[in-house]
Amino acid sequence: MIENILDRLKADIRFQEGLTSCMNCGICTAICPAAEFYKYDPRVICNIVQSRNINEIEQLLKGDEIWYCGQCMSCKTRCPRGNAVGMVITVLRKLSQETGYFVESEKGRQQFAIEKAVGQNIINQGYCVHPDIATYENHPEQGPVWKWYLDNIEELSTKMGAIYKQRGAGALRDVGEENLDEIKKIFEVTGGMAFYDNIEQASQKAAEELGVDFQEEYFMKVYSENSGNHNR
């Protein structure tokens, strides 16, 4: 068991201000798009957090629930007591990532895929999402038009006014080494890099325990695994 979970939660300003006076009316769950589909109840999460029950909070950090939230913050727009459940979720997620508990659930393990894809893409290309990482194989939901787009990306970019991987003004431009160096420095100074490293190390350990090759197989495993047991 990790020490000081409660203290670490309480130290976060988003936690301090995100949940101060819940009266369990359920309006957050009633407006929540995720709660309609997933086995997810933001009100119950507030309840658990307010109970200050460390064992139950730990189960949250190890479970799938906190990863169902889409961070749309609809809960904040409705709460009659001014709470922001989405903020509380953010803090729980961060703590789950920091403690390594995220590897204990299927949705949590996907943090590795996000870190590898979106996270590293920011460092390598200066983009959260860039067509280069959204391969057709990994994104069948985009349909065959996406394959056609990627196959002809240079020509299409010119037609659409983008400048794919070139210096200058326009979408998909190369942001330049000097800017990437700056982004990297920001991530080093603010602890972002250490945060990534932590996710990688915990994931590597999880891969070993699961008997999955970390370099070759683990990404696709966490990216594609689906127990089918997430919906209501």
Partner 1 sequence: MNIVDCIIIGGGPAGMEAANRLTDQGFQVLLFEKEPELGGKLRQWDKLFPDFTLAQDILKMLNDNIASNKLEIKTGNTIRELRQSTDEGNSKEWEVIDGNGESHRARTVLITTGFDFFDATRKEEYGYGIYPNVITSVELEEQLKNGKIEIASNSKNDPNIAFIQCVGSRDEKVGNHYCSRNCCICAVKQAIEVKELLPQSEVTCYYMDLRMFGQSYEELYRKAQQEFRVNFIRGRVSEISPTLENRVILKAEDTLLSRPIRATVDLVVLMVGMEPSETTAQLSKSLNMSDPYGYIASKNSYTADNETQHKGLFVAGTAKRQLAIPDVIRDADAAAFTIAKHLKNGK
CA distance readout (Å), 6 to 16, 38, 42, 46, 170: 12, 26, 19, 14, 46
Q: Which stretch binds partner 1 (CB under 8 A): 4-12, 27-35, 60-68, 96-104?
A: 27-35
Q: Would you state the structure tokens that stand for residue 124, as one six-digit string?
A: 């390598």
Per CB under 8 A, the list member of 8, 12, 22, 44 interacting with partner 1 is 44
Angstrom distances, CA of residue 102 to CA of 16, 47, 203 = 22, 21, 9
> How far is the C-alpha of 16 from the C-alpha of 87, rounded, in Å?
10
Tell me the Cα Rg of the chain.
20
Q: Does 192 bind partner 1 (CB under 8 A)?
A: no
Which ranges in 70-119 belong to alpha helices (H)?
74-78, 85-99, 106-114
Residues contacting partner 1: total by CB under 8 A: 19
103 binds partner 1 (CB under 8 A): no
Contacts with partner 1, 62-101, as mask; x by CB under 8 A = ----------------xxxxx-------------------
Q: Which stretch binds partner 1 (CB under 8 A): 37-45, 94-102, 136-144, 183-191?
A: 37-45
Read off the tokens for 21: 């006076």
Does 35 participate in binding partner 1 (rule CB under 8 A)? yes
Q: Between 31 and 134, name the residue whose CB sits nearer to partner 1.
A: 31
* Spatial distance between the Cα atoms of 21 and 5, rounded to a whole number of angstroms: 21
* 24 interacts with partner 1 by CB under 8 A: yes
Contact region with partner 1 (CB under 8 A), list: 8-16, 17-25, 49-57, 93-101: 17-25
List of residues contacting partner 1 (CB under 8 A): 23-27, 29-32, 35-36, 41, 43-44, 78-82
